[in-house]
Structure 1
Amino acid sequence: MSAERTREPGELFGPRMTLFADVLSVGLATSVACLPLLTAPAALSSACAVLRGVRQGRPATAGRYVEVLRSRLRVGDLAAGAVALAGALLCVADLALAGAGLPGAALFAVVAGAIGIGALVVGLRACARPESLTDWPAAVRGAARDVVRDPGGCGLVLLAVATAALCAWMLVPLAFLAPGPLALALTAVDVRSVGASGSGP
């Protein structure tokens, strides 16, 4: 991150609290953008891009988020949303079939759950990659490599998802703010992964 700035005259909070407020506003904007469902990957990817821009001194505001998202609703972004939605529905259907008492249902449920969790982690890590702004296949390939190279980061992603889900379950209005902290966590994991690979031999 860039060097901390001093508090401006009349500013009520320091820069860290300002970033926290910006993350919540970006989270609210992301929730609204995710409502059509097909736009969810582009919405989360845009949130990660806006929050990544803080490192270069760009503002992380809802206005900047809308500006980034407006250029994202292309055929490729909607296709990524359709694939994500189809995958989620397929996973739910598989788990429902496993719960119907079919032979081998327990093993099938474990395998389907593991595949679903793996796909979720790859999809979320793809949203955090800068390539997702222009090239979803490249972002997914990079995310799949990250899953193999950085299992610790995958654990952090799952922890962030579990925390967001728990907050939404405990207090429903928090569900509309949860995408902001989730996007911040995904971005931090991706930046951590890039830094770790860059410091290697």
Structure 2
Amino acid sequence: MSDTRTREPGEVFGPRMTLFADMLSVGLATAAACLPLVTAPAALSTACAVLRGAREDRPVTAGRYLALLRRRLRSGDLVAGAVALAGALLFAADLALAGAGLPGAPLFAVAAAGIGGCAALVALRACARPESLDDWPAALRAAARDTARDVGGSGLVLLAVATAALCAWMLVPLAFLVPGPLALALTAVDVRCAASMLKEPVGKAGSPGG
């Protein structure tokens, strides 16, 4: 009597991760869309939106991804990409200066790495937020709150990024596939974070004296 499409306990998207092949095709499309660099935030955000749609049984295909991406490349998305690219270049320049042997360089390098890591974490979590489809400032504000409140989820995001970087380093062709699993990880973390936030008021209301 059990429905084969029913999600098992702990699963976010579908039974036994049946969207794996579609996730890889979306990852390839995302990698191609990221090549101009300034389109990277919109490309990753669109991948997260398409993968999130799997929970509502919407198709997870490269065709749907590209159709949604074409509607996404507005001036706001390109500005977000330009800001992200400028931040990455500034971070690289700061680390290069720190490695040049300037006074206080080790302490500066640690501080720059910490700030850059936090900024990258917030940016990645913003890409998974539904608000990123049409309002990047709102997505960034929500992602900053999620990063501070959901420390475990932030750790999972860092682990996903490290795993993606390791896979790309070990086998360069995998770099064209890692955006799919990375987007899936970001979306899963955001979905679980949203679910936990919804449960918080219920738990407080059910506490003694509530």
Give the equivalent residue in structure 1 for 2:152.
Answer: 152
Q: Distance in 2 between matches of 1:139 and 1:83?
A: 15
Q: Distance in 2 between matches of 1:82 and 1:45?
A: 15
- The alpha-carbon deviation at position 5 of structure 1 amounts to 3.0
CA RMSD of superposed structures (Å): 1.4
- The alpha-carbon deviation at position 18 of structure 1 amounts to 4.0
Which amino acid in 2 is paired with 1:170?
Answer: M
Unaligned segments of structure 1, at least 5 residues: 7-13
Distance 1:103 1:77, change over 3 A: same
Give the equivalent residue in structure 2 for 1:163.
Answer: 163
Q: Deviations over 1:66-90 (max 9, x none)?
A: 0110100000000000000000000
Which amino acid in 2 is paired with 1:143?
Answer: A
SS at match of 1:102: coil
Q: Distance in 1 between matches of 2:4 and 2:22?
A: 16
Give the equivalent residue in structure 1 for 2:97.
Answer: 97
Q: Distance in 2 between matches of 1:21 and 1:74?
A: 29
Which amino acid in 2 is paired with 1:196?
Answer: S
Unaligned segments of structure 2, at least 5 residues: 7-13, 202-210
1:139 paired with 2:139, answer yes
Q: Distance in 1 between matches of 2:155 and 2:83?
A: 24
The 5 Å alignment of 1:95-134 reads: 95-134=95-134
- The alpha-carbon deviation at position 52 of structure 1 amounts to 0.1
Give the equivalent residue in structure 2 for 1:5.
Answer: 5
Q: Distance in 1 between matches of 2:35 and 2:72?
A: 15
Which amino acid in 1 is paired with 2:185?
Answer: A
Which amino acid in 2 is paired with 1:57?
Answer: D
Give the equivalent residue in structure 2 for 1:194.
Answer: 194
Give the equivalent residue in structure 2 for 1:10.
Answer: none
The 5 Å alignment of 1:27-66 reads: 27-66=27-66
Runs of 4+ deviating beyond 6 Å: none
**Equivalences, count:** 192
Q: Distance in 2 between matches of 1:167 and 1:48?
A: 20
Which amino acid in 2 is paired with 1:55?
Answer: R
Q: Deviations over 1:102-158 (max 9, x none)?
A: 000000000000000000000000000000000000000000011111111110000
Q: Deviations over 1:8-42 (max 9, x none)?
A: xxxxxx96464000000000000000000000000
Q: Percent identity?
A: 77
SS at match of 1:101: coil
SS at match of 1:96: helix
TM-score by length of 1: 0.93
SS at match of 2:96: helix
Which amino acid in 2 is paired with 1:179?
Answer: P
Q: Distance in 2 between matches of 1:189 and 1:15?
A: 18
TM-score by length of 2: 0.89
